[in-house]
Amino acid sequence: MLFKVTMDVKLPATMPEATADALKKKEKELAHALQSSGKWRHLWRVVGQYANVSIFDVASSTELHDLLLSLPLFPYMQIEVEALCRHPSSIHQDDR
Protein backbone atom coordinates (compact mmCIF):
# COMPACT_ATOMS: atom_id res chain seq x y z
CA MET A 1 0.00 0.00 0.00
CA LEU A 2 1.24 3.46 -0.87
CA PHE A 3 0.83 6.41 1.45
CA LYS A 4 1.73 10.07 1.08
CA VAL A 5 2.93 11.37 4.44
CA THR A 6 3.61 15.02 5.24
CA MET A 7 5.73 15.55 8.34
CA ASP A 8 6.09 19.01 9.85
CA VAL A 9 8.71 19.05 12.63
CA LYS A 10 8.30 21.47 15.55
CA LEU A 11 11.21 21.12 17.97
CA PRO A 12 10.76 23.14 21.16
CA ALA A 13 12.87 26.32 21.21
CA THR A 14 13.98 25.30 24.70
CA MET A 15 15.40 21.94 23.55
CA PRO A 16 19.17 21.86 24.07
CA GLU A 17 21.08 21.80 20.78
CA ALA A 18 22.88 18.57 21.72
CA THR A 19 19.54 16.83 22.34
CA ALA A 20 18.15 18.07 19.01
CA ASP A 21 21.31 16.99 17.18
CA ALA A 22 21.15 13.49 18.73
CA LEU A 23 17.49 13.09 17.75
CA LYS A 24 18.19 14.26 14.20
CA LYS A 25 21.10 11.82 13.88
CA LYS A 26 18.92 8.89 15.01
CA GLU A 27 16.13 10.03 12.68
CA LYS A 28 18.53 10.15 9.71
CA GLU A 29 19.89 6.68 10.46
CA LEU A 30 16.39 5.18 10.64
CA ALA A 31 15.27 7.07 7.51
CA HIS A 32 18.25 5.66 5.60
CA ALA A 33 17.49 2.12 6.78
CA LEU A 34 13.81 2.42 5.83
CA GLN A 35 14.70 3.83 2.42
CA SER A 36 17.17 0.99 1.83
CA SER A 37 14.44 -1.52 2.73
CA GLY A 38 12.04 0.04 0.20
CA LYS A 39 9.44 0.99 2.82
CA TRP A 40 10.29 4.72 2.66
CA ARG A 41 10.22 5.05 -1.10
CA HIS A 42 10.57 8.81 -1.60
CA LEU A 43 11.62 11.70 0.65
CA TRP A 44 11.44 15.37 -0.34
CA ARG A 45 12.01 18.58 1.60
CA VAL A 46 9.35 21.27 1.61
CA VAL A 47 11.09 24.50 0.61
CA GLY A 48 11.32 27.04 3.43
CA GLN A 49 10.00 24.69 6.11
CA TYR A 50 11.34 22.07 8.50
CA ALA A 51 9.01 19.59 6.84
CA ASN A 52 8.99 16.78 4.29
CA VAL A 53 6.69 14.96 1.94
CA SER A 54 7.32 11.24 1.73
CA ILE A 55 5.92 8.19 -0.01
CA PHE A 56 5.80 4.99 2.02
CA ASP A 57 5.23 1.52 0.59
CA VAL A 58 4.04 -0.74 3.40
CA ALA A 59 1.75 -3.74 3.82
CA SER A 60 -0.93 -1.95 5.85
CA SER A 61 -1.99 1.22 7.59
CA THR A 62 -1.04 -0.46 10.87
CA GLU A 63 2.52 -1.01 9.62
CA LEU A 64 2.74 2.66 8.61
CA HIS A 65 1.38 3.74 12.00
CA ASP A 66 3.96 1.64 13.84
CA LEU A 67 6.75 2.88 11.58
CA LEU A 68 5.82 6.53 12.16
CA LEU A 69 5.64 5.98 15.92
CA SER A 70 9.19 4.59 15.80
CA LEU A 71 10.65 7.81 14.37
CA PRO A 72 12.78 9.60 16.97
CA LEU A 73 11.28 12.97 16.01
CA PHE A 74 7.69 11.64 16.11
CA PRO A 75 6.79 13.42 19.37
CA TYR A 76 7.63 16.73 17.69
CA MET A 77 5.83 16.16 14.38
CA GLN A 78 2.51 17.15 12.96
CA ILE A 79 1.73 14.37 10.48
CA GLU A 80 -0.82 14.09 7.68
CA VAL A 81 -1.37 10.75 5.93
CA GLU A 82 -3.15 10.08 2.66
CA ALA A 83 -3.66 6.64 1.13
CA LEU A 84 -2.75 6.47 -2.56
CA CYS A 85 -3.84 4.22 -5.41
CA ARG A 86 -2.96 3.97 -9.05
CA HIS A 87 -4.66 6.47 -11.35
CA PRO A 88 -6.25 4.92 -14.46
CA SER A 89 -4.88 7.72 -16.69
CA SER A 90 -1.27 7.26 -15.61
CA ILE A 91 1.05 6.42 -18.51
CA HIS A 92 3.43 4.56 -16.18
CA GLN A 93 3.18 0.79 -15.83
CA ASP A 94 4.32 0.76 -12.19
CA ASP A 95 4.14 3.03 -9.17
CA ARG A 96 7.83 3.93 -8.98
Q: What number of residues does the chain have?
A: 96
Q: What share of the chain is helix, strand, coil (3-state, %, to 5)?
A: 35, 30, 35
Could you report the per-residue pLDDT of 37-89, keeping only the tens digit for each? 999 999 999 999 999 999 999 999 999 999 999 999 999 999 999 999 888 89
Residue 72 and residue 28: Cα distance in Å, rounded?
9
The CATH code for residues 2-84 is 3.30.70.1060
Q: What is the pLDDT of residue 96?
A: 59
Cβ neighbours of residue 65 under 8 Å, at least 6 residues apart? none
